[in-house]
Structure 1
């Protein structure tokens, strides 16, 4: 079959395959199942490859009312975790002919300015972290097909949800610390109004309540090294017995806890054990390396994009939380003698 010197059209493919243009459109648009035979679909694809045919995506999208662009709303671009979420989402999007636009809502300065004259005209859908949910109002993102990440399924603005199994991660941490003999825990909690951090606090309290003699004291801190240092120092110097373990809402807070413990003249883990939650690169850069819960950020992004694709096709996203895994390193040990 000879290639045409001009750009081939769907009519050329139809003639080469011996089918109608409508059949070509169905096959190349992946809408053929149940409407044309598998043999016909194979014949159309073979003809398109031989001719070097590429569909006019702009024209097709105009006909379908699709932009094939989705928005990923995250708290900030400086966080390694959300970089992984973007990588996973973009990988799945690219495989389906979609692009992903990032919309950061940095903590402390409010949502970024709306980059769209009309989000509804520019986007097919939105994937949003619950930590940046307030930004949705600025672009009316809740008016579009929506998937919420790390969000309460009962209050997710009417969108689908994709969650990591954070509660199970806290369970794994608690079992590890209680098995080592710890009973006095300090919860270094992220001072961020977000469902995912509420889950951490709730599960930690529930697990401690089931262990005789276990107590949890809470200190809140912004997600920063300096904030964690100040909050941990204040808690270590407070009244009552010193905590033997610090349970941190994320790895950055844990790094700050390390600094505070050493400033107080104590050692990690001989005097105070420390745990994190994320398993960022930071976890193995500090000494001793951090016991933490590994969250697969790229898989999180992939599942978020897959869920949005299912919503756009009128289907139901796959259910079930994404498993997480405790990684035990050198920052935890049995409690020492006060």
Structure 2
């Protein structure tokens, strides 16, 4: 039985039946087009007529009714550690664009300062009817939670045997960054690391240390500081590094957000970037292009990441063969924040 127009006060709410009548097609064709599944099934002219009729009538699909009929919400939750980080906005945009092509929508959830995974997941299941989960740069869930998320979730930039994972080639990106600074003549290189004790950040520090040792550059404990992903915290940490008696000539940051704090500290101390200090970031977020000079950083291709993330998750949800993706290659983007060290 098809939808019927609904009256709200004096106003009639259009349905897919109204759209079908206006476009001169079947209701099934309307469902295919508005559900993003028309390719090869509905002709181009009919698609255009349906979209035009929907616009003219002001029709919006009833997602709640669709969920009840199909038993599926087609809602994916992207869980990140900090929604205030502009990089995750780009990650969300890439995932949302890829998901939309497959008829899914994406909601963004943060786990910052939230200890109770169980409560968060239960609320999301109830409130949003979440069908699939993408856990980005998150600590691996406990065994009971992994069981709860079985066949519903994947990890990105993290690994567990119990859950499909999509990895980033963090080692390659961090190594390229360190080699770049060393080739510019820097030997006093500090590391402003991210505070979360997650594998992706531990790996960055391992590569930092190993690269120094490979080039016979001393590893210094006083050049190692950790910071939360806030401007104030990274500013305080950078200020501490830059006021050392033998201050670093370069600071490697675990994210572009941390690098922004270094810029602020350098400005407060009347240091010029890159003349007095070279600074690097990680992510290639919007922040990297707002800073002056623009930031040398490691770029994570969020469009490709979004496509692979959605492809992997849908293979899990639809119980298809899981695709194999090599670790996503990251690239060094050299901009104006790094320069050769001057002989003094």
Shorter-chain TM-score bucket reads: 0.7 to 0.9
What are the superposed Cα offsets for residues 129-161 of structure 1, whole Å, 9 maximum, x if unpaired? Answer: 133656997897534421111103xx26x1111
Partner of 2:294: 289
User: Aligned in 2, Cα 1:140/1:117: closer, same or farther, shift over 3 Å?
Assistant: farther
Alignment of 1:1-338 (within 5 A): 8=26, 65-105=71-111, 107-108=112-113, 110=115, 114=120, 116=122, 119=125, 122-131=129-138, 142-152=149-159, 155=160, 158-215=162-219, 217-238=223-244, 241-314=246-319, 315-337=321-343
**C-alpha distance in structure 2 between counterparts of 1:117 and 1:285, whole Å:** 36
CA deviation digits over 1:194-216, x for unaligned, max 9? 22111111111111111123535
Unaligned runs of 5+ in 2: 1-19, 51-61
After superposing on structure 2, the runs of 4+ consecutive aligned residues of structure 1 that deviate more than 4 Å are 3-10, 49-52, 56-65, 109-113, 115-118, 132-141
Q: Is contact 1:185-1:244 (8 Å) kept?
A: yes
How far did 1:229 drift?
A: 1.8
Aligned length: 304
CA contact (8 A) 1:111 1:135 kept: no
Q: What is the TM-score normalised by the length of structure 1? A: 0.75
Preserved contact between residue 227 and residue 237 of structure 2 (Cα < 8 Å): yes
Unmatched tracts of structure 1, length 5 or more: 14-24, 31-40
- Relative to the length of structure 2, the TM-score reads 0.74
Q: d(CA) in 2 for partners of 1:166 and 1:29?
A: 35
1:127: Cα distance to partner?
A: 0.8
Q: In structure 1, what is the Cα distance between the partners aligned to 2:116 and 2:340?
A: 44
CA distance in 1, matches of 2:141, 2:284: 27
* Cα RMSD after superposing both structures: 3.9
Distance change (3 Å), C-alpha of 1:238 and 1:70: same
